[in-house]
Copies of this chain bind each other. A is one copy, B any other.
Amino acid sequence: MIDAAPRPAASGATTLDSHALPGPRVVLGVDAPLRLDGGAELGPFTVAYQSYGRLNAERSNAILVCHALTGDQYVVGPHPVTSKPGWWEAVVGPGKVLDTRRYFVLCANVLGGCMGTTGPREIDPRTGRRFDLGFPVITVRDMVRAQAMLLDHLGIDSLFCVIGGSMGAMQVLEWAASFPDLVFSAVPIAGSARHSAQNIAFHEVGRQAIIADPDWCGGSYADQGRRPERGLAVARMAAHITYLSEIALHRKFGRQLQDRERLSYGFEADFQVESYLRFQGASFVERFDANSYLYITRAMDYFDLARDVGGPLALAFQGTKTRFCVISFSSDWLFPTAESRDVVRALNAAAANVSFVEVQSDKGHDAFLLEEPEFHATLAGFLAGAAEHRGLARA
């Protein structure tokens, strides 16, 4: 029911050396542009990606990892900008749940991102000038179409698994809905089939914080040598609170004071939680682009699979043969378990093969990034069964 994006001729794609960032990039949409949900056409455009492990001879062991709002393709570190470990080291690597001795793990920076894939801070090849706010508003489906074009370029005809948390889970669901024949198994983690009013509200606060910063310059800060760091930091701080549970915040910080024995009776960071948030804001602006933050939050807000298919959510999965494993976390209040249950209900109504686990965790939404034995065991069990079904050799 959802048209796949037009596929460019393989000859139209060129692998570029990355200048600023390590890893491969490909130029796609040269012969035929990507038609976006908003009506604009994008092309040629670049997709930057990373891969881990080896594609087997049957080309049947590829796992596509879809990253979250502020994630990127550097799943396993060190990160080229921050030098920190990758964002999913807990899950991806030799002997890990996504065992790179067995699977070919691929992750692409999303369309609209700022780590090499075309986004607002890149140069529009048609004008020779930076996109800035001239970049078209994109959707999660547009992101997925770009990834499908990348796979086509790489000669990967089907995915053993598509997996991701948060906005990654949105992409997973979109993959399963848009390209059901390409997806053998799908693992949407801590996600939703549509962004809630509360989540739209939090995103809007972040966007307004960025737009309110005079250094945003109507979006054209880069060419003016400025950066809306203060606005972006405030946006990150607000968002970061939503990624943690109240219990996690309390356990981590409580009302403990920062490097002092008594209250300062001033506006310095008296409490550790204040100091932590300020650090989160300050370190985020070093690695993320403010306009990308606007575009990607907008894509999440627009996400509503049922609306896209013009009917009940189950319509999006009609006739699917994909094996699903839906995972939520009990203390996640940003994407609460109820929203995963809605997805499961729709999959059941579509007679899909689906298992569902609400992992008991007090770590909040970010639990999918952390050491969570029950979560990892769930993933490992599901993948083992799917791999057997798929006939993949053991590591």
**Chain B residue with the shortest CB-CB distance to A266:** B137
> Which of B196, B234, B238, B307 interacts with A212 by CB under 8 Å?
B234
* Contact of A252 with B197 in the complex, beta carbons under 8 Å: yes
Residues of B within 8 A of A301 (CB): 270-271
> Which of B137, B204, B246, B277 interacts with A265 by CB under 8 Å?
B137
A347 on the B face (CB < 8 A): no
A278 on the B face (CB < 8 A): yes
**Chain B residue with the shortest CB-CB distance to A236:** B205
Contact A253 B208, CB 8 Å, known A137-B265, A265-B136: no
* Contact of A207 with B252 in the complex, beta carbons under 8 Å: no
Measured between C-beta atoms, what is the minimum distance from A42 to chain B in Å?
13
**Chain B residue with the shortest CB-CB distance to A294:** B267
A311 on the B face (CB < 8 A): no
A333 to B241, CA, bound (A): 13
* Contact of B234 with A197 in the complex, beta carbons under 8 Å: no
* Contact of A197 with B277 in the complex, beta carbons under 8 Å: no
List residues 94-138 of chain A with CB under 8 A from any CB of chain B: 133, 136-137
A136 to B266, CA, bound (A): 8
A365 on the B face (CB < 8 A): no
**Chain B residue with the shortest CB-CB distance to A199:** B246
Measured between C-beta atoms, what is the minimum distance from A224 to chain B in Å?
15
Residues of B within 8 A of A196 (CB): 246, 249-250, 255
List residues 246-263 of chain A with CB under 8 A from any CB of chain B: 246, 249-250, 252-255, 263
Contact A208 B333, CB 8 Å, known A265-B136, A267-B298: no
> Which of B266, B273, B307 interacts with A201 by CB under 8 Å?
B273
* Contact of B253 with A197 in the complex, beta carbons under 8 Å: yes
Contact A255 B195, CB 8 Å, known A201-B273, A205-B237, A241-B201: yes
* Contact of B253 with A204 in the complex, beta carbons under 8 Å: no
**Chain B residue with the shortest CB-CB distance to A137:** B265
Residues of B within 8 A of A270 (CB): 301-302
* Contact of B37 with A197 in the complex, beta carbons under 8 Å: no
* Contact of A200 with B265 in the complex, beta carbons under 8 Å: no
In order of increasing CB-CB distance, the 10 nearest A-B pairs are A38-B265, A212-B230, A137-B265, A197-B249, A204-B274, A198-B246, A197-B273, A197-B253, A205-B237, A209-B234
Pull 5 A–B residue pairs with CB atoms less than 8 Å apart, ordered by A: A196-B255, A201-B277, A204-B269, A204-B274, A263-B302
Chain A residues with CB under 8 Å of chain B are 37-40, 133, 136-137, 194-198, 200-202, 204-205, 207-209, 211-214, 230-231, 233-234, 237-238, 241, 246, 249-250, 252-255, 263, 265-267, 269-271, 273-274, 277-278, 281, 294, 298, 301-302, 304, 307, 333, 336
Inter-chain pairs besides A38-B263, A39-B265, A204-B269, 4 sampled, C-beta below 8 Å: A37-B265, A212-B231, A246-B336, A267-B298
